[in-house]
Amino acid sequence: MTKAHVVVLLMVVALSVSFGFQKITPLFHTNTLSVDTLTASQDSVSTPEWMAVYDSLDLKNKGLSEAAFQYAWYGYKKMNLGKHILAIADFSQSSCKKRLYVIDFLEKKLVLNTFVAHGRNSGQEYAKNFSNDNSSFQSSLGFYKTLGTYQGKHGLSLRLEGVEKGINDRAFERAIVMHGADYVSEDFIKNTGRLGRSQGCPAVSIADHKKLIQLMYNGAGLFIYSQNQNYFKKSSLLAGLNLMKEKGQALGASLLYTSAK
């Protein structure tokens, strides 16, 4: 091989190496852009505020379902309350459970978790039947605003205004109030296998009723929840809510409803 041949060969090798690096560099650059784009896309998908609050308060482990909380959150946002307090009475749970959750939505704190009774004609351990009628002795579902207090046959009591027409708007004339009752206690549950029942009022324990009423009087909210499709069809406050679309996954067909209103 002549000297000229050696020079040509070295030039070819040099060009090949140079071409190889130039070809590889864009490939690495393209892959880096793809990873960055994917990361940015993932970061842009944020957790809904209601879900972040639900998780931060550990409500799942305390027995409150995501569906019940999201309904409560959605209705709370549409109500014009004087206080940032909302109590959620989850009547899909057994009355043996602490199914009343009092939440400060401004501070994002669970203030109180305690027992609450349903109406005697709504069911035994579980509340299954609901009514807005006088003398029905049944609970009424939906959203309420709290009014003032008074001293009645159950002592200190909190008046409630049902804000959903045709669902609970007779609460005031039915004297549906929040009050303390001796049949709302762990001892009563031990003796009977269930909590005692009211004439339709969301009665709470004697031990908790003063603290609860102090938190809620004049402008707080109450949401009485159950997996009741008739309620979801009638509720104007929950009109347009679709849990599956907002959460991005199924929560169970029985808990999904999009109102036509």
pLDDT in tens, 149-176: 999 999 999 999 999 999 999 999 999 9
Pairing of strands 142-152, 155-162: antiparallel
The amino acid present at 157, given as its one-letter code, is S
pLDDT in tens, 169-189: 999 999 999 999 999 999 999
Helix axes 66-78, 49-56, angle to 10 degrees: 120
pLDDT, mean over the chain: 84
pLDDT value at residue 149: 97
- Nearest Cα neighbor of 176 from 160, 197, 198, 156 is 160
The total of other beta-carbon atoms located within 10 Å of residue 257's CB is: 18
Q: How confident is the model at residue 74 (pLDDT cuts 50, 70, 90)?
A: very high
pTM of the model as a whole: 0.78
Q: How far apart are CA 71 and CA 239, in angstroms?
A: 10
Average pLDDT over residues 12-28: 45
Torsion sign, CA atoms 251, 240, 106, 219: negative
Is the model's pLDDT at 100 over the cut of 80?
yes
In the block, residue with structure tokens 């206080």:
83
